[in-house]
Structure 1
């Protein structure tokens, strides 16, 4: 299987499909998943002639289950290691949830000076800051994330099943069409990763203030968010992020859940393609 080794010796798994001469679309997955969560988007863009690349974050999926580096700086550096190894340039980087934070940090620190990034997309993404603080009173209390940590440590398998069966895809809403295959695939991806990476990653996605990352991004950036996102509430994420971006565009979707890339890929994918081509 294809791996790249980072500067601190971590093996990162990646997928690289399609013509190497085509413009690359790079996908960054959410917590606690893997690059497999991008199946619907990778096949879609592959069929439209693009080169598609996605990696498993350290400690997630098929990447090394190391016990250190589970923070946004290392996440972005690992993504850079993949991009540098494959010499990806003029790429469009698309991140979901925690992966959106990874994209923001990557573009701000590694992407633009080297001409590696043409555009960015933040989907249901965690920036600028999920945690409630004095400066961010609309955020979620630390008790919410402490609960995530407790559930991950106590019975990760059950917690992951509960998240996928309920709020992640909006399957807890009245009238929702519950898709058992989607739930099982989410659980499968999560349980492939390490409990240590998932436990530490909660702080990474909830307590990292990425205001400065967003301000530093100058490439065209599309911000997509479901208005019924129960995981990353839109008011404290997308609605704030677009105001911090120098070249941002916001598109929201009434009733769509956090996992809308899976449940509503038939709607989201054409919007992504229009932005990439525009």
Structure 2
């Protein structure tokens, strides 16, 4: 009580600190600046992006997989930055640091959001690399936005979902709907546990006998996934599994490299890469015996070298 009594006069005499004129007022919304590293799309969605390297260097744009973020490309971004490229990656809407909006979780919006980033940064002669769902995003982007705007030099589809993952009359070798219903059930009932089970098991092939399990990789996958929106992840399952991208693949004319692990347990190679390369006008296929869906992370040294060789080639 004595201590409190001694403090009261001091508190009464204290003067309020001067307000920082640059700080937002209470109840106001600070204006978004270029320092935020976000771009606002036509439907008002804030998309976060990274942009590293010389602005006059050839850009490489990375498109991440479900349910991750642009952080999944850190190893590749640092590698290509060291080789003199400008590297750009964004968080898909509802993922990572982008806005957790309720709608627009489909390939059309994914592609138009990527185009918003490309237009904002005025990227030209870019190489677009997409992994898994990001591969579908690249296919839709190049077909609808990249080539008409003259902004794409090459494309790379890594362990990518096109032409379609779901079993259909046109693609009878696809996976049954029950597989994707299981994903939806996992997201709805216990997303946190599912986001441990997937990377600890089939995503990186850590469930294979003799596999070297990397706990940090599993934790990083979980961290990225849980940063995103459950709504975006739930709706995104339909986007990556049911979108038929046959027309997208047929429309792409730029040199396109298709890379796939032969032991991919998430996007089986027979109904993805082996079909996609036949639909591309200028496609090249390279497969990797025994490698997993997450080979970009656990086999980065091998994949990065192959990506660099393709980018620097005359193809």
Q: Give the structure-1-normalised TM-score.
A: 1.00
Report the Cα distance in structure 2 between the residues aligned to 1:66 and 1:196, rounded to whole angstroms.
Answer: 8
Alignment of 1:42-57 (within 5 A): 42-57=77-92
Alignment of 1:139-150 (within 5 A): 139-150=174-185
Say if 2:308 is the partner of 1:273.
yes
Summarize deviations over 1:67-94 as a string: whole Å, max 9, x none: 0000000000000000000000000000
Match of 2:128 in 1: 93
What number of residue pairs does the alignment pair up? 278
Report the Cα distance in structure 1 between the residues aligned to 2:232 and 2:75, rounded to whole angstroms.
Answer: 25
Higher relative contact order (CA 8 A, sep 6+): 1
Structure 1 position 135, deviation (Å):
1.5
Summarize deviations over 1:168-205 as a string: whole Å, max 9, x none: 00000000000000000000000000000000000000
Report the Cα distance in structure 2 between the residues aligned to 1:15 and 1:176, rounded to whole angstroms.
Answer: 33
Provide the secondary structure at the position in 2 that maps to 1:68: coil
Find 1:155's aligned residue among 190, 193, 196. 190
Report the Cα distance in structure 2 between the residues aligned to 1:57 and 1:133, rounded to whole angstroms.
Answer: 27
Match of 2:279 in 1: 244
Report the Cα distance in structure 1 between the residues aligned to 2:210 and 2:301, rounded to whole angstroms.
Answer: 20
Structure 1 position 136, deviation (Å):
1.0
Find 1:29's aligned residue among 64, 75, 78. 64
Say if 2:258 is the partner of 1:223.
yes
Report the Cα distance in structure 2 between the residues aligned to 1:29 and 1:126, rounded to whole angstroms.
Answer: 12
| RMSD of aligned residue pairs (Cα, Å) | 0.3
Match of 1:126 in 2: 161
Find 2:238's aligned residue among 183, 189, 203. 203
Find 2:147's aligned residue among 82, 98, 112. 112
Report the Cα distance in structure 1 between the residues aligned to 2:131 and 2:274, rounded to whole angstroms.
Answer: 16
Structure 1 position 64, deviation (Å):
0.1
Match of 1:78 in 2: 113
Find 2:228's aligned residue among 186, 193, 198. 193
Summarize deviations over 1:219-240 as a string: whole Å, max 9, x none: 0000000000000000000000
Match of 2:40 in 1: 5
Match of 1:180 in 2: 215
Structure 1 position 114, deviation (Å):
1.1
Structure with bigger gyration radius: 2
Report the Cα distance in structure 2 between the residues aligned to 1:253 and 1:134, rounded to whole angstroms.
Answer: 29
Match of 2:290 in 1: 255
Report the Cα distance in structure 2 between the residues aligned to 1:126 and 1:6, rounded to whole angstroms.
Answer: 25
> Stretches of 4+ moved more than 3 A in 1?
none
Structure 1 position 134, deviation (Å):
1.5
Report the Cα distance in structure 1 between the residues aligned to 2:263 and 2:218, rounded to whole angstroms.
Answer: 18
Structure 1 position 27, deviation (Å):
0.0
User: What runs of 5+ residues in structure 1 fail to find an aligned partner?
Assistant: none
